[in-house]
Amino acid sequence: MNCLHKLAGGASMALLLGGCASLSGDGGFGAAAGVSEQRTGLSASVAGRLPRNDDDARALAAVIDKKLGQPLAVDEAVHVALLNNQGLQASYWSLGIAEADLVQAGRLQNPVFDFKRSHGGGELSIERTLTFNLLSLITAPLAGRIEGRRYEQTKLLVSNEALKVAADTRRAWVEAVAANQSAEYAVQVEESAQASAELADRMRKAGNWSAMDVAREQAYHAQTVADVSAARKTAVAAREKLTRLMGLSGAQTAYKLPDHLPELPAAPQELGDIEQIAVNERLDIQAAKLDTAHTASTLGLTKTTRFINVLDLGVVGESEGPINRRGYELSLEIPLFDWGSTRVARAEATYMQSVNLLAQAAVNARSEARESYADYRASYELARHYRDQVVPLRKKLADETLLRYNGMLMSVFELLADAREQSTAVNGYIGALKDYWTAQANLEAALGGRLSGHLPTTKGVTP
């Protein structure tokens, strides 16, 4: 805006105009990275800017290699992805494009010098003109504003992209570690079945068992071998997905993962008004808001007369729902214009389209917040049930089975069958724990940030 006043100065002002919007030098990366770092708690670059040359690449490789030198914790994996996911890097670069557009929009077009030489009737005419695009001089401020909003929006969308990659990586890591663990338990089950089958064979050789008894044990063993193969296939697929998200190739793909998923935390996060959090924090909502503002701006609709709550558009009839019990206020207001004399149908339609897209985004965000929070809590309860009930009871059963084996009340085959049952229960716990950590990543994605610390909770706060 400031720049525009200086136009009055005439052609010499071109220089000034050019100087009022300039390239940031990092293509806007720093700004977007700032948002992503704030949300993920992890830096998005090694050098503070996107890698551009061999030095940068080497520095990045050094940092990543150091991380890959030990079993990769989930946050480390996310960090590697933020630093190294090439799709994300491409998004970062799109920010540079948007910035360039912005800067370009703020600059006057270069003056055009025309030289026209003509002759007719033995007369030579030479015309020299210096053309200066006056129109662009007039529209430059508007274009600058438009591109400025687009740039802001792009920044948000790129940041959101980074959060998505972070969430995907988190889920992929959980998936990969759990798949490994499950494969390991499949091996335990197989070993137990193998021991049964081998013993059955020895029983047969000693003359104590029939071919049918042996076949039964061997058939079971064969099935468990197949199960191991299937579990290993799943583990490979899960690991490769994680590898892709982290953008790793070559020797780096030999990274190690921890043997176990993190244990279930002592308690699940108690989040208060999750819908409000989602509406406030989600970058896609903020980008949609900007888009609406952007549309308004483009249409030159600057005069607002009142605000409407777009959430009301989407949630009519829900106000009695249980989510309102806490008595919070949920609002996402946007200006509604008095169309007045400028009642141009197209302008209104375009604007209302944008408003509705924003409203839908808000409805989606709220629904996703509710769903993912409910899933998060339910996943916690299920995992805790496995940890506190199913697994200990299985262990108790195993102990009691061993006591009965000791008393020659049960056979070694029952002991082995019980060992397999116990493995299955533990595997069930791994599955539940995996679902819990996945639900947590989903919840974070639905709420637009990390759960630990970053997002507001109701702990200790009375509604």
Partner 1 sequence: MTTRRSFLSGAALIGAGMVTKAGAASLPEAPVQSSAATAPPLVPPNGRPYNPVVTLNGWTLPWRMKDGVKEFHLVAEPVVRELAPGMTANLWGYNGQSPGPTIEVVEGDRVRIFVTNKLPEHTSVHWHGQLLPNGMDGVTGLTQPGIQPGKTFVYEFVARHAGTFMYHPHADEMAQMAMGMMGFWITHPKDPKQHAVDRDFVFLLSAYDIEPGSYTPKINTMLDFNLWTFNSRAFPGIDPMVVRKNDRVRIRAGNLTMTNHPIHLHGHTFEVTGTDGGWVRPSARWPEVTTDVAVGQMRAIEFIADAPGDWAFHCHKSHHTMNAMGHDVPTMIGVDHTGVAEKINKLVPGYMVMGDKGGSMGDMQMPLPENTLPMMSGEGPFGGLEMGGMFTTVKVREGLARNDYKDPGWYKHPKGTVAYEWTGEVPPAPRAPGAPPSKPVEAMNVKRDAKHHH
CB of 190 to partner 1, least distance (A): 11
Site for partner 1 contains 210 (CB under 8 A): no
Q: Give 3-state DSSP helix, strand, coil % of the chain, rounded to 5.
A: 70, 5, 25
Give burial (CB, 10 Å; 0-12/13-18/19+) of 256: exposed
CB 103 within 8 A of CB 148: no
Site for partner 1 contains 211 (CB under 8 A): no
Binding mask 147-186 for partner 1 (x = CB under 8 A): ----------------------------------------
Give burial (CB, 10 Å; 0-12/13-18/19+) of 349: exposed
Q: Exactly one of 97, 131, 412, 459 binds partner 1 (CB under 8 A); which one?
A: 412
Site for partner 1 contains 195 (CB under 8 A): yes
Q: Which two tokens stand for residue 379?
A: 């996943």
Binding mask 346-385 for partner 1 (x = CB under 8 A): ----------------------------------------
Q: Exactly one of 400, 452, 456, 459 binds partner 1 (CB under 8 A); which one?
A: 400
Q: Exactly one of 5, 58, 66, 205 binds partner 1 (CB under 8 A); which one?
A: 205
Closer residue to partner 1 (CB): 365 or 416: 416
The one-letter amino acid code at 341 reads S
In this structure, what are the phi and psi dihedrals at residue 339, rounded to the nearest 5 degrees? Answer: -70, -35
Closer residue to partner 1 (CB): 333 or 400: 400
The three-class DSSP label of residue 78 is helix
CB of 198 to partner 1, least distance (A): 5
Total residues binding partner 1 (CB under 8 A) = 31
Q: Exactly one of 321, 403, 456, 459 binds partner 1 (CB under 8 A); which one?
A: 403
CB 181 within 8 A of CB 430: yes
Site for partner 1 contains 257 (CB under 8 A): no
DSSP 102-166: HHHHHSPPPPEEEEEEEEETTEEEEEEEEE--HHHHHHHHHHHHHHHHHHHHHHHHHHHHHHHHH
- Applying CB under 8 A, which residues contact partner 1? 188, 191-192, 194-195, 198-199, 202-203, 205-209, 398, 400, 402-413, 415-416, 419
